Amino acid sequence: MSGSATPLRLSRFAHLVETGSAWIVANVAAPSRLVVDAPTARAVQALARGPLSAAAFAAACPPEVDGEALLRVLFEHGLVVAEDADELGAFARVASAEPLPPADSPAPPGRYQTPRVLRAAELAQAAPATELQPLDVLLLGGCVLAFAQDTLVRRGRERGLAVRCRHAWPPTRLPRPLHGDGPAPDMVVLQPTIQPFLTSVWDDGPFQDAPVRARRASALARFLARLVDAFAEGLDGRLGLVHNVAPPTISPFGRMDFRTPTGFRELVGELNEAIAAAARAHEHVLVVDEERLVLRHGGERLFDDLLFPFGHHGGAADPRIAEAHQLPALSEALAGEYLALHEIFHGLRRVRCIAVDLDGVLWPGVLAEDGMDWLDGDTTTRWMHEGVHQALRLLEQRGILLVSLSKGSAAVTLEAWRGAADPRLLAPEDFVQHSIDWTPKPNRLRALAERLGLQPHDVLLLDDHPVERAEMRARMPGVRVAEGDVAGFRALLLSDPAFEVAHATDEARRRTETTQGLLLREQQRETVAAEDFLASLAVRVTVEPLAPEQLARACELLARTTQFNTLGRQPGRDEAQWLLAREDVTATAVTVHDRFAAYGLCGVVVIEDASVRAVVLSCRVIGLDVAVAMLVGSLRLAGRLCVGTTGHVHAVARNAPAHDLFARAGFARVDEERWEIVDAGAVARAGAPAHVQLTLHDVQEAVANGR
């Protein structure tokens, strides 16, 4: 867009208005709005004078304005169009197809939001080097969500996202699909806990008898659960975020809430559990936890119940301003939370490994010299380092690998560490690899990453020394480096979405164990002939129909596997879930064991009618040579081990291990990407390697060559 020579002009529906301290650029037909500073407004005025090419516009901008970044923002908000765009015709078509709202519609007309000025310096700072990824967001809720739009656009740019927002007030019955005839959003946010719904319990409830209050709360909880179910259905597999409800800053029953039958602590718990239970039933629905936001940021800063009635449940306001508005704290918190949940659901920016400097991070001082006496004191230092241990233990349970990357003597350090044997601390065995010597850390981390099959951006470095951090950034670009003092490490580890997963799986909890097994297996492979080595592993492969409880892990494999992936790409979680849920698809789950470890569900085969649509296999078991056995076993299980069944491989550089899968399985090549079974017996024999013991569902099969 920015490099196009097509002349561009300001939309005929756009207007530029000065307000004194800032300028408003608004498109009354969209509707959309930007609030900008004076230099940015001068740049927009250049387009208002007549059509310009992108290059001419950049040249016309004041020197402090990034013309390319501004042009992107103006396009995202529908404020700039091509010179020949038929805006009147497009608007007429939309207007004629849009039914008028009922006269008695409870939704307030138009929309309003607190302006958040987009400044020239901020525009340039937020513009990433790479092209912004579009993210279309539909916000269904009260004015709280309308207020958040400007902030969501700005915070999205900081994360490389071109966010476009639409806002609507939520109906009591959600349509399917939610977006009606408009473009399908990538993410939908539902805030069902708004004033019309909460009033009967939150505002009227304190004046009712406890039994009445309890009945109303239960009815509201049932309604919210049904609303979440309808919301999930209308998403068509896309990501949906649903708000729960934060408790009032002060209970209507005061400090004696605990003595009150059906008090507000109980009411909030019942409503939130109803929302959580309904959301748990849908893989693509996540909860925006208002309670957690209040704990992190403070209810007095976020919500207005110290000023307005409890049921209004809006953002904190300035009582001196009569018009509807919201102070920025809640919009900032919500925008950050929405984008964090988007990243978690799609696995964006996910950290897969943490490289930990030991001395100064896991304990104060040098362990080889100072020992573990610090554990005996009741000091800030002691509790701070224990906090880092605990945070890393939690992340290890989520499947994030830990490696040590420290300077010193490995033998002395590990001996002192094992001698402590304190259950509150990480043990050396919680790390998949230790790298402790005096050589430069970037060289060692690069070797560790290659051994573990990781890219630099998969790794975070925790190091207390600024020189070591600077050297890592300079010599191994891409590695994420935690900045600041050790005192900030725990907050980073427990709050950044890069360390969270949308669905916890058994495979993730065992990732340290299975990776240790993989490394030990590869170490032994170097000393034994290939055939003898495979025969010694006692490899067991189980192929079974994909069960509902395995869906989350199967989606993770499809969305994250890059090497052994016949699709040649990584579908998003919503696409993966849609693919696996289709009625004409048979999906199989493949679990693998050897004498070193149980690797869990590490393969998925998707068969659509008489065609193998996708085969993915975790890199942890590629070296066990089980791919052909799992493919042929899946075909047997699906009843598709027959002449005419086809398979497809979209070959790219990244998925080289999967290129010859169908050739090795005995398929005949049809064209560049398609293979076909012409001899079912040959395929059956190829799927029975001597080193694999194969189980189909619950029927044991002794598999040998020639059978």
Nearest to residue 73, comparing CAs of 108, 102, 99, 47?
47
Residue 270, pLDDT score: 95
This prediction has a pTM of 0.76
Q: Which two tokens stand for residue 551?
A: 């869906």
Residue 123, pLDDT score: 67
Backbone angles phi, psi at 544, to 5 degrees: -145, 160
Q: Is the separation of the CB atoms in 344 and 500 below 8 Å?
A: yes
536 CB-near residues (< 8 Å, 6+ apart)? 528, 595
Q: Is the separation of the CB atoms in 436 and 356 below 8 Å?
A: no
Nearest to residue 36, comparing CAs of 49, 50, 22, 46?
22
Q: Is the separation of the CB atoms in 337 and 345 below 8 Å?
A: no
Report the C-alpha gap between 539 and 38 in whole angstroms: 68
Report the C-alpha gap between 468 and 483 in whole angstroms: 11
Do 1-102 and 128-346 fold alike per CATH? no
Q: Which two tokens stand for residue 35?
A: 């609030």
Q: Which two tokens stand for residue 172?
A: 């009591």
Q: Is the separation of the CB atoms in 213 and 198 below 8 Å?
A: no
* Number of C-beta neighbours around residue 56 at 10 A: 15
CATH architecture assigned to 353-500: 3-Layer(aba) Sandwich (3.40)
Residue 707, pLDDT score: 35
Report the C-alpha gap between 409 and 435 in whole angstroms: 10
Report DSSP letters for 491-558, one per residue: HHHHH-GGG--SS--HHHHTHHHHHHHHHHHHHHHTTS-HHHHHHHT-EEEEEEEPPGGGHHHHHHHH
* Number of C-beta neighbours around residue 86 at 10 A: 11
Helices 290-297 + 328-346 axis angle, to 10 = 120
Residue 461, pLDDT score: 97
Report DSSP letters for 244-266, one per residue: --PPPSS-TTGGGGGGSTT-HHH
Q: How many CA atoms lie within 13 A of 236 on its CB side?
A: 11
Burial of residue 450 (number of CB atoms within 10 Å: 0-12, 13-18, 19+): exposed
Instruction: Return the CATH fold of 128-346.
Output: Rossmann fold (3.40.50)
Report the C-alpha gap between 177 and 231 in whole angstroms: 9
Q: Is the separation of the CB atoms in 376 and 363 below 8 Å?
A: no
Read off the pLDDT of residues 355-383 as tens digits, 9 standing for 90 and up.
999 999 999 988 888 888 888 888 999 99
3-state helix, strand, coil in the chain (%, to 5): 45, 20, 35
Cis peptide before 175 (omega within 30 of 0): no
* Number of C-beta neighbours around residue 635 at 10 A: 26
Residue 275, pLDDT score: 97
Report the C-alpha gap between 198 and 194 in whole angstroms: 6
CA 521 vs CA 304, 510, 624, 657: distances in Å: 59, 16, 10, 19
Nearest to residue 474, comparing CAs of 456, 492, 449?
456
Report the C-alpha gap between 116 and 24 in whole angstroms: 10
Burial of residue 606 (number of CB atoms within 10 Å: 0-12, 13-18, 19+): buried
- Residue extents of the structural domains in the chain: 1-102, 128-346, 353-500, 507-701
Instruction: Return the CATH fold of 507-701.
Output: Aminopeptidase (3.40.630)
194 CB-near residues (< 8 Å, 6+ apart)? 141, 142, 144, 170, 313
Report the C-alpha gap between 609 and 251 in whole angstroms: 59
Q: Is the separation of the CB atoms in 616 and 565 below 8 Å?
A: yes
* Number of C-beta neighbours around residue 681 at 10 A: 11
672 CB-near residues (< 8 Å, 6+ apart)? 651
List the beta strands (DSSP E) in 61-217.
80-82, 133-140, 161-168, 187-190
CATH number of 1-102: 3.90.930.70
* Number of C-beta neighbours around residue 460 at 10 A: 22
Give the SS3 label for residue 71: helix
Q: With a cut of 50, which residues of the chain have pLDDT below it? A: 1-2, 97-113, 127, 699-707
Report the C-alpha gap between 413 and 367 in whole angstroms: 6
* Number of C-beta neighbours around residue 264 at 10 A: 22
Give bridge partners of residue 133 from the DSSP assignment: 161
Burial of residue 261 (number of CB atoms within 10 Å: 0-12, 13-18, 19+): exposed
Read off the pLDDT of residues 502-561 as tens digits, 9 standing for 90 and up.
888 888 888 888 888 888 887 777 677 777 778 888 899 999 999 888 888 888 888 888
